[in-house]
Amino acid sequence: MSKACKACSRLNESNVCVACGATDFSSRWNGLVIIINPEKSVVAEKLGIKEKGEYALSVQ
């Protein structure tokens, strides 16, 4: 099961976030969001996502 970065919500398999480099993760997250075109996505804009990938909608 992937962990969600607490800083940017990016889902990660490793212990260092591939999107922002943070090391603080949570296994308690909800709502999978897959961003393919960050520059064209309204969802990405709302969530402040600038890199493509899988993100959690909410992280606890």
Q: Which two tokens stand for residue 47?
A: 């969530």
35 binds Zn ion (CB under 5 A): no
Least CB distance from residue 11 to Zn ion, whole Å?
A: 9
- The C-alpha angle with vertex 21 and arms to 45 and 5, in degrees rounded to 5, equals 60
| Residue selected from 2, 11, 13, 20 as contacting Zn ion according to rule CB under 5 A | 20
User: Collapsing DSSP states into helix, strand and coil, what is residue 35?
Assistant: strand
59 binds Zn ion (CB under 5 A): no
Residues lying near Zn ion in the complex (CB under 5 A) are found at 5, 7-8, 10, 17, 19-20, 22
